[in-house]
Structure 1
């Protein structure tokens, strides 16, 4: 009798300790309307993409996912505008990169041209900074998306505490393997869902 109860207890404990599988496709996401709204800013996205070496289609997908194309939106966490930039984090980093002091104002970040330019510049900062050395362009895109929403440090630490070792591990993966790693190892369930949503938005852009 005692043995049977021990077996039952062990099974229950094993069930409680196992990590539940996260379905990053839920709730459903239809990118059609947000992509249509984001497309109105394509001329600015093309200009910013040419200036900073980023695909305008990718910029438009980020706008669709982040703000649905609404330049005046401000999130509960204080992220502002089309590409949802926080003045004291990404905004400040872009200012420092440009050699400016202070932080961008909320009104500045609500300006579509300034917001898209600064958001695109921030992607360039990530690409040439903490993510430098990633060779596969598709893997780099996934890494940029993950870093944009949850930080480059959180991403790299899922591979190694040493940046060079982390980059080397990433370079041994294709985009599917990288995505699977994010699903299994990233501490934020938002990370794989964000990659998935951005990809769906890109697929919806003609």
Structure 2
């Protein structure tokens, strides 16, 4: 599933089009690209506000929403990732709370609120960007952030090297295509998208 998320995100970021995406969970979903984009468009004001606030490209935010929830603010995964940007309260939620000087973790009710979810998801992208500091190619950085958003920074870097600096150095020798191919081949995680 991780490969599917990466491919969909990369396709969306580069502007290529495709007809349908199929996702399976308790119910079989067939989602049309036009319907998903219309749903995401509904959240544009929140996306643009968060993009400005955290200096993150709004197209990157949209691609994560597209891949993670298909624009469904009520999406919830088997691993308890919630809302448009599929925030896990006990991991990304805790990190963003801590970053904002709060204790604990966001409530499920907060994460189902599209404005809060997009703000927290975008803050988390910004945090990942800082953790991946040193990747020079901007396109590789975008894809590294997407993979890290889904799997975690350590899972991404470990497929290159156990040493963070060495992993970044290896990534810096790659083109966007070789990075993408390497990640698809080596990242290991099966995670359902929507339940």
Question: TM-score with structure 1 length normalisation?
Answer: 0.76
Matches within 5 A, 1:141-156: 141-156=142-157
After superposing the two structures, state which structure 1 stretch, 180-189 or 93-102, moved more.
180-189
Report if aligned partners of 1:38, 1:61 keep a CA contact under 8 Å in 2.
no
Tell me the residue number matched to 2:53: 51
Tell me the residue number matched to 1:84: 86
Considering Cα pairs closer than 8 Å and 6+ residues apart, tell me whether 1 or 2 has the greater RCO: 2
CA root-mean-square deviation: 2.0
Tell me whether 1:34 sits opposite 2:36 in the alignment.
yes
Larger Rg: 1
> Which blocks of at least 5 consecutive residues in structure 1 are unaligned?
1-22, 195-206
Quote how far apart the aligned CAs of 1:31 are: 2.8
Matches within 5 A, 1:113-132: 113-129=115-131, 131-132=132-133
Which 4+ runs in 1 deviate beyond 4 A?
Answer: 23-26
More strand by proportion, 1 or 2? 2
Question: TM-score with structure 2 length normalisation?
Answer: 0.80
Mapped to 1, the partners of 2:188 and 2:61 lie a distance apart of 25
Matches within 5 A, 1:69-80: 69-80=71-82
Matches within 5 A, 1:166-205: 166-188=167-189
Mapped to 2, the partners of 1:135 and 1:31 lie a distance apart of 31
Mapped to 2, the partners of 1:127 and 1:156 lie a distance apart of 13
Quote how far apart the aligned CAs of 1:187 are: 2.1
Mapped to 2, the partners of 1:183 and 1:90 lie a distance apart of 23
Report if aligned partners of 1:37, 1:64 keep a CA contact under 8 Å in 2.
no
After superposing the two structures, state which structure 1 stretch, 32-41 or 161-170, moved more.
32-41
Mapped to 2, the partners of 1:185 and 1:79 lie a distance apart of 23
Quote how far apart the aligned CAs of 1:189 are: 6.5
Tell me the residue number matched to 2:136: 135
Mapped to 1, the partners of 2:105 and 2:147 lie a distance apart of 24
Mapped to 2, the partners of 1:142 and 1:84 lie a distance apart of 17
Report if aligned partners of 1:49, 1:120 keep a CA contact under 8 Å in 2.
yes
Mapped to 2, the partners of 1:120 and 1:181 lie a distance apart of 26
Tell me the residue number matched to 2:62: 60
> Which blocks of at least 5 consecutive residues in structure 2 are unaligned?
9-19, 22-31
More helix by proportion, 1 or 2? 1
